[in-house]
Amino acid sequence: MPILRHPVRIRWWIFTYMFLFAMLSYVQRTSITDAAVYIEPQLNLSQFEVSLIALAFVVTYGLMQVPAGVFGQRYGARVTYFLVGLVGLVATIATPVAPMVLGGTALFVMLLVSQMVLGVSQAPVFPVFAGVCEPWFPPSQWSFANGLQSSGMTLGTAVTPIVMVFLTDHFGWQGALLWVAVPAAALTLLWVWYGRNTPREHPSVTPEELAELGEVAEERREPMTLARLGRIARDKNVLLLTTSYTSMNYLFYLLGYFPFLYLAQQRHLTVTQSGWLAMAPPIGAAIGSAVGGALSDRAVRRYGVRRGYAIVPLITLPVAGLALIAAVHCDSEYAAVAALALAFAGVEVNEGPYWAATMQIARSDTMAATGVLNTGGNVGGLIALPTIGYLSGAGHWDGAIMLGAAFAVVAAVLWLLVDPSQRAITEAPRRANA
């Protein structure tokens, strides 16, 4: 926490918590697939069964996106992120503890349930962050803030393979998963102490910072109703962004969940080599997320909301598809890893544009609208995880990767139809003192 008097704006301290929540959420959710090489033989599970366990997370995580956004709008980020940390802690601990007391079918069901609970706990992470970003940051920084926060999740994905290898070597895979829970617990307690829902609620926010935020700091937050939620969910531009995001997220799940297994199985590298090299794609993605958000904000300032948000996806998504094709045809495993890193960067460079465009459409209803957006993102996971699990388990890694190239093209084309300048709910925002 700051020692000097406001050396940085309070919004960046709030952002730091959001960044760490995103990072640790991805450590928690990807650790089970990264530990699959240990879990499968010890628990007599097939690779397809492990993919079903991962899918259990995605199902509940995806189904809870809209309810999580509505909950966050109703109760605020401070309470919501406390529950994210608390419930996630229980679910993370349950996974390594279950084999100590259960076996066979009962164990498999318990692993499914623990991942479902983890999915529920983490559902608010990104919709609620977007809702935090909307009042805490000026619109000119929305894409950058969203992109930078997304780099937290990809950094979490990057460090998980090597962290899991290190911890498993010293404590076994069960001990490794228990250690993963420790920093998440500490972060949750610190957030309850420091976090606030809006700038006006935080005692350390200065009048100068409020003035910088302008109208968004004064915006009145209307209560969420079913009719209001329905108007957001049916909005043409929200639906187009959601469908495009669904397509893009096939690539996200392919590149976020499977590089470790791909390198070990298809490229025949050792576990240690796979762990280190599997860090490259998410590191590329983390860089892409931060850079893409900045580029998107700059494009919006120069070309306006409609064209500005579309420029980055229209260029980088096809590049990601071409990089996937290159990865399949590379003879060198290092060249293949570089191509996968470029592909993941080409995917994640678009997180800022997707989320900021949705914020422009929804404004004070951002949590609900981005809940709809991320529901679509997780439909991409529902498509990707069983498809990739089945194809890779049958030895068809190249087919799983080439399918990602096709999804990249679909995601890009849909951006041609999106107009983020059109509000989902058109009444003008009112000031709190009106």
Please report the pLDDT score of residue 428 as a whole number. 44
Give the Cα-Cα-Cα angle 58, 147, 159 (nearest 5 degrees): 60
Helices (H), 35-138: 36-43, 47-63, 65-101, 104-122, 125-136
pLDDT band at 95, cuts 50/70/90? Answer: confident
Between 163 and 252, the more confident residue is 252
Q: CA-CA distance, 63 to 73, in Å (whole number)?
A: 17
Q: What percent of the chain has pLDDT over 70?
A: 90
| 121 to 25, 96, 205: CA distances (angstroms) | 9, 18, 29
What confidence category does residue 180 fall into, taking pLDDT thresholds of 50, 70 and 90? confident
411 touches 300 (CB < 8 A)? no
User: Residue 276: is it exposed, middle or buried by C-beta count within 10 angstroms (0-12/13-18/19+)?
Assistant: middle
How confident is the model at residue 202, as a pLDDT?
87
Assign residue 363 a region (left: φ > 0; alpha: ψ between -120 and 50; beta: otherwise): left
Structure token pair of residue 71 = 């909950």
Contacts of residue 419, defined as CB under 8 A and 6 or more positions apart, other chains included, come to 237, 306
DSSP assignment of 11-60: HHHHHHHHHHHHHHHHHHHHHHHHTHHHHHHHHT--HHHHHHHHHHHHHH
C-alpha–C-alpha distance, residues 406 and 254, integer Å: 13
Query: What pLDDT is stored for residue 22 in this prediction?
Result: 86
Say what the pLDDT of residue 4 is: 42
Whole-number pLDDT of residue 215 = 62
Q: Closest Cα partner for 317 from 345, 287, 337?
A: 345
Tokens of 135: 């009042």
The pLDDT value given to residue 33: 66
Q: Which residue has the higher pLDDT, 40 or 205?
A: 205
Q: How confident is the model at residue 432 (pLDDT cuts 50, 70, 90)?
A: very low
Q: Backbone dihedral region of 172: left (phi > 0), alpha (psi from -120 to 50 degrees) or beta?
A: left
The angle at the Cα of 131, spanning 155 to 300, to the nearest 5 degrees, equals 80
CA distances from 61 to 69, 126, 431 (A): 12, 11, 34
Residue 415 pLDDT greater than 90, yes or no: yes
8 A C-beta contact, residue 373 and residue 242: yes
Sort 321 into a burial class: Cβ within 10 Å, 0-12 / 13-18 / 19+: buried
Give pLDDT, residue 160.
78
Mean pLDDT, range 338-344, rounded to an integer = 90
Q: Is the pLDDT of residue 168 over 70?
A: yes
Mean per-residue pLDDT of the chain? 83
Q: Residue 431 forms beta bridges with which residues?
A: 219
What is the per-residue pLDDT for 399? 87
Kindly indicate the confidence band of residue 1, based on its pLDDT and cuts at 50, 70 and 90.
Answer: very low
Q: Mind listing the domains of the chain with CATH numbers?
A: 10-417 (1.20.1250.20)
Question: Which pLDDT belongs to residue 296?
Answer: 92
Residue 223's pLDDT is 66
Q: Which residue has the higher pLDDT, 33 or 264?
A: 264
**pLDDT tens-digit series, residues 266-298:** 776 776 777 677 778 888 888 888 888 889 999
Mean pLDDT value of segment 316-330 = 92
Most confident segment among 70-74, 234-238, 362-366: 234-238
Q: How confident is the model at residue 324 (pLDDT cuts 50, 70, 90)?
A: very high
**Which string of b and e fits 356-385 if b means at least 16 CB within 10 Å?**
bbbbbbbbbbbbbbbbbbbbbbbbbbbbbb
Q: Is the pLDDT of residue 172 over 90?
A: no
**Reported confidence tier of residue 406, pLDDT bands at 50, 70, 90:** very high
Best-predicted range by mean pLDDT among 201-210, 371-380, 411-420?
411-420
